[in-house]
Chain A
Amino acid sequence: MSAPISTPASPAPSTAPDGFIRTYLFSLDHKMIGKQFLWFGLIMLFLGGALALLIRWQLAYPETQLPGMGMVPESVWDEGSSWLARTLPYGVIGPELYNALVTMHATIMVFFVVAPILVGCFGNYLIPLMIGTDDMAFPVLNMLSFWITVGAGVILLSSFFVAGGAAASGWTAYTPLSVKEIYTGVGAGQDLWCFSLIVLGIGSMLGAINYITTIVNMRTEGMTYFRMPLTIWSLFIVAILLLLAMPVLTAALALLLFDRTLGTSFFLTEGGGEPILWQHLFWFFGHPEVYILILPAMGIVSDILSVFSRKPIFGYHAMVYAMLAIAFLGWIVWGHHMFQSGMSPLLGTTFMISTMVIAVPSAIKTFNWLGTLYRGSIQFTTPMLHSLAFVSMFMIGGLSGIYMTSTPVDMYIHDTFFIVAHIHYVVFGGSIFGIFAAIHYWFPKMFGRMMNEPLGKIHFVLTFLSFNATFFPMHILGVGGHMRRLYNPMQYEFLQPLQPMNEFITTSALIMGATQFLLITNVVWSFWKGPLADKNPWQANTLEWTTHSPPGHGNFSTAPVVYRGPYEYSMPQWETDFLPQDQPPEKGGSPGP
């Protein structure tokens, strides 16, 4: 191995306290930046969730006043000039607002919740700790990456308050709908949406460069690529995907902005442009983006399953190769979003074949997770429960994908709630359960205190049940032909019999939303009052558990040396059922590879 460019684990430069601003706001410490991403992502999660509940209210009880709006004095509505009266006249969600809710819910969840938490928070927090170094390669870029993301979020949210309201052309912003103000009634809101995602892209690029550089150059002695935990492998692959995918989105957004503001016609037929070009660009970015949202959760869950089965991960190399295969194949499947778009049907067949192939590595991973549980000694901790939910829910999301891969079946279920069910089984059932698993698993390391297990389990059970009660019936709506992004399903006769199901889904979603306050309670209570965590409460092998909880500045008092892979659990010749990566081998024999 070539000599690292940056010397890992140099002693902390200074022990002098840095002051509030340097410690909590513009910190250069990867751990603080990781926590900042966590708080930011959780705040956005609740915002995005609130928007989802508004959508659900409209679908279950179309064009009725929102609960609680009766308390607003009539004069506010009658006068009509306040923001509330303009956005939500008489407390009723109008079609313009509904489209904005649909657009902003998805934009927030995809770009400002799942990626910031999985990649921003856990990437930042875990990469240096798990590869045994003191910080990221570029701490200033790291700090900028966070604040640029916050800036992008502020730009996005500000669009609710401009004339015409927030973007309302869907998170996919299909052209020409997203190009002209006359089509949606949204002006500045759509521009701000574009700006926000361009700015976000810069932040993601900075993060990606940082992750790749850090993982390639700053692994501690003995930490070869194939001794890296799967969490790090997944974040490494995701960083490469981000680096390649974000510029595509940025370019597409720039073209869209040009069309909107400078009078160009990249996506407008009247000027010789091509509307479907946008879809190609968007999904060429968009499909890798889906894997950006799910791969880190796969890595995290792999590690957690191994720890709480007290067994090595089954097929470590196969897991790595499967992720690499997903990362590669993810670039040649984008057309499966466009089977009914007017793209050549023959090309549709090509994309059907490539999409069927990308199901294979996902299946390999699922079977390997099962193999990990086989003959283990399974501990049902809260992070483990969330990880098991991830495996089963991701499986439903993966299998439902086969329906839309089959082009003739897709013709029927495309743009219906079947797709909504599918994406939520992947991104909520997958990514969000992965996030919940990660929060419960690494909380002791991040904040030095244990979370409350009984409360965690209650939150898990209620979330798991209400999640399924919310999203599983959406498959049925889709089979019934219920279109997505539809303001009022009652306007269609063939959808009216499905209305009781819409009401059931909304009730389940409200319960799921309320359940999340248990998570907040647990996080806040444990943050202040949880029992102190020792270095290694889960008896895990990876390097972050060999240092203090929480780790001090510089992470490790001396640079750790790695002797083996991260999954040496229940080795027959070893007295304990775990063997940390940095434990020196006994004289005469070296356990583990």
Chain B
Amino acid sequence: MLDWLPENVSTYGEDIDGLFAIIYYFTTGILLLVLLALVTFLVLYRQRPGHKASYIKGNARLEWIWTGVTLALLVVMVILSRPLWATIKERPRPDSSPITAQVRGNQFNWVILYAGPDNQIGTADDLQVENELHVLVHTDIWLSLVSEDVIHSFFVPQLRLKQDAVPGREIPVWFQATSAGDYEIACAELCGFGHTTMRGWLHVLPPDAYEAWQRQHWPHNTNEDTP
């Protein structure tokens, strides 16, 4: 089952996969144990001549044991999940990490608005493109997710990242890619008849390639040149 996970290329993706594996082994273990007990009981206690059912109405101690053990295991799940969740979704953006781009969902495109050289969105040096997101590898990338119309969901399987884009809200998301490459951006929330075509590309670039892309595409910061 774990082999079916796509390649992971984000820093926290590894921890998510680790947690996934823990839950996988835990639930599979429980499932196999209970199924084994079930099948054993079905074979041992099948109706046959000379065999009578025992008159057993319950066992209060057993009830407490399996309630307690189940609760304890689930508390462990919470304890394992909580810090990772806080890292991914509750981390405040440090001032040293400006927002790279605003990602705006509309029917049916991901509109990428780069902050440009001044690191400010909504200024003259912004660059807007559709469905192509270029970012630097090994760097914390901060995006601001918005939507123009309906709810979309920004999903990059290889980053293990998913976050809804909701009209009326700016939702910050962050990731750090660990490997350069091209990865598909999907929309994971049904957003209308063109939902299936709402696909983009995340291009994770090493520094030299990223700078080359910037030189080629970003508007030159004309404000600095003119008095």
CA distance A481 to B77 in the complex (A): 23
Q: Is B141 an interface residue (CB 8 A)?
A: no
* Chain B stretch 175-209: residues in CB contact (< 8 A) with chain A: 184, 186-197, 199
In the complex the two chains form, what is the Cα distance from A500 to B149 in whole Å? 35
Asked if B55 and A312 sit within 8 Å, CB to CB, the answer is yes
**Contacts of A366 on B, CB cut-off 8 Å?**
34
Question: Is there a chain B Cβ closer than 8 Å to A494's Cβ?
Answer: yes
For B124, list chain A residues within 8 Å (CB). none
Q: Which residues of A contact B80 (CB under 8 A)?
A: 406
Given A183-B150, A412-B20: A405 and B168 within 8 A (CB)? no
Instruction: Check if A377 sits within 8 Å of B31, measured CB to CB.
Output: no
Give the distance to chain B from A327, nearest Cβ to Cβ, in Å.
17
Report A-chain residues with C-beta under 8 Å of the C-beta of B63: 315, 318, 364, 368
Of the listed stretches A45-53, A222-230, A341-349, A526-534, chain B binds: A341-349
Cβ proximity bits A339-358 to B, threshold 8 Å, 1 near / 0 not = 01110011011001100110
Could you tell me if A375 and B196 are in contact, using CB atoms closer than 8 angstroms? no
Task: Say whether A374 faces chain B, with CB atoms less than 8 Å apart.
Answer: yes
CA distance A348 to B86 in the complex (A): 10
Does B171 have its Cβ within 8 Å of any Cβ on chain A?
yes
Q: How large is the interface on B (under 10, 10 to 19, 20 to 34, 35 or more residues)?
A: 35 or more
Q: Decide if B97 is an interface residue (CB 8 Å cutoff).
A: no
- Does any Cβ of B come within 8 Å of A475's Cβ? yes
Q: Is the Cβ of B85 less than 8 Å from the Cβ of A402? A: no
Query: CB within 8 A of A409: which of B23, B51, B188, B189?
Result: B23
Q: Mark each residue of chain B from 1 to 38: 1 if its CB lies under 8 Å from any CB of chain A, else 0.
A: 11011100000100110011001101100110011011
Taking a contact as CB atoms under 8 Å apart, the answer to whether B34 and A493 are in contact is: no
Residues of chain A within 8 A of B153, CB atoms compared: 340, 415
Contacts of B114 in A (CB 8 A): none
The distance from the CB of B31 to the nearest CB of chain A, in whole angstroms, is: 6
Q: Is the CB of A370 within 8 A of B41?
A: yes
Q: Could you tell me the distance in whole angstroms from the C-beta of B47 to the nearest C-beta in chain A?
A: 5
Grouping DSSP codes into helix (H, G, I), strand (E, B) and loop, the A interface class, with mixed when no group exceeds half, is helix
Interface-lining segment among B115-123, B155-163, B218-226: B155-163
B44 closest partner in A (C-beta): A375
- Choose among B31, B163, B168 the residue that contacts A269 (Cβ–Cβ < 8 A): B168
A interface list, Cβ under 8 A from B = 94-96, 99, 102, 168-170, 174-177, 183-185, 269, 274-276, 309-312, 314-318, 340-342, 345-346, 348-349, 352-353, 356-357, 359-360, 363-364, 366-368, 370-371, 373-380, 388, 391-392, 395-396, 399-400, 402-403, 405-409, 411-412, 414-416, 475-476, 479-481, 483, 485-488, 491-494, 567, 569-572, 577
Closest 4 pairs (CB-CB, A-B): A269-B168, A481-B157, A487-B196, A345-B89
- Residues of B that sit less than 8 Å from A by CB: 1-2, 4-6, 12, 15-16, 19-20, 23-24, 26-27, 30-31, 34-35, 37-38, 41-42, 45-48, 51-59, 62-63, 66-67, 70-71, 74-75, 77-78, 80-82, 84-86, 88-90, 107, 149-151, 153, 155, 157-158, 160-164, 166-169, 171, 184, 186-197, 199
- 8 A-B residue pairs with Cβ-Cβ distance under 8 Å, sorted by A, are A177-B151, A310-B52, A352-B85, A356-B75, A364-B63, A412-B157, A414-B188, A480-B4
